[in-house]
Amino acid sequence: MTSIKGPGAAATYDGSGLRVAIVHARWNTTIIDQLIAGAKKSLLAAGVKEDNITLQTVPGSYELPLGVQRVYAASQLQASSSSGEGISATDLLSASTSDLTQSPTAPAAGVKKPFDAVIAIGVLIKGATMHFEYIADAVSHGLMRVQLDSGVPVIFGLLTVLTEEQGLERAGLGKSGMHNHGEDWGSAAVELGIKRREWS
């Protein structure tokens, strides 16, 4: 019997005008790398230009909410400045909370606009202590908070798995033939990036 689980029939969205950031943790890299590849595959398939996909890393999943918040704030700052250069440490540090809540404005010619969506990717694997539960809870709430406070779609790419095998399966590296969940996250970023504009 085929499973009824999953995101439902795929709709097609034109991502050619979108800018997307992927902020990922470095713990459990084998799984993370595959999830990033899956997300990028869907973004590119939807027409998002390679140039408009930015990768940023943080040490572990616990750092994801801050990473997403600062990367998005820095992109807003760049859009309102005239330089349009890549995200610098100075941009990240100087972006204020008010930068996060500004409504999107048209950037000057040649300047990159703020990200239309951010995908947060991390892999938490349960250990012998309560560490997993605390981080999973904090990161889930933190990412939702950034999303609702800023208005930018934050795609929840945090795997909270009980075993390494469960993580490998969800990255499409297992024996069961389960698909790479990163692909779903790329598609979700495109859909929400487009819909966010319609909802603005």
- Per CB under 6 A, 118 contacts ligand DLZ: no
The answer for residues whose C-beta is within 8 angstroms of residue 35's C-beta and 6 or more apart is 24, 121, 123, 157, 159, 170, 171, 180, 181, 182, 185
User: Distance of CA 28 to CAs 25, 31, 59, 76, 181, Å?
Assistant: 8, 6, 11, 30, 15
Q: Is 131 a catalytic residue?
A: yes
- Per CB under 6 A, 35 contacts ligand DLZ: no
By CB under 6 A, name the one of 23, 73, 120, 123 that touches ligand DLZ.
123
By CB under 6 A, name the one of 114, 122, 182, 186 that touches ligand DLZ.
122
- Per CB under 6 A, 156 contacts ligand DLZ: no
Size of the site for ligand DLZ (CB under 6 A): 15
- Per CB under 6 A, 28 contacts ligand DLZ: yes
Nearest CB to ligand DLZ, comparing residues 15 and 122: 122
Whole-angstrom distance, CA of residue 159 vs CA of residue 41:
19
- Stretch in the footprint of ligand DLZ (CB under 6 A) among 6-14, 23-31, 43-51, 142-150: 23-31
Structure token pair of residue 75: 């992109």
In the complex, least distance from residue 173 CB atom to ligand DLZ, rounded to whole angstroms: 16
Binders of ligand DLZ among residues 49 to 108 (CB under 6 A) are 59-63
* Coil vs helix vs strand at 118: strand
- Per CB under 6 A, 43 contacts ligand DLZ: no
Nearest CB to ligand DLZ, comparing residues 25 and 79: 25
Q: In Å, how far from its chain's centre is CA 63?
A: 13
* Coil vs helix vs strand at 109: coil
* Coil vs helix vs strand at 164: helix
Residues near ligand DLZ (CB under 6 A): 25, 27-28, 59-63, 122-125, 127, 131, 135
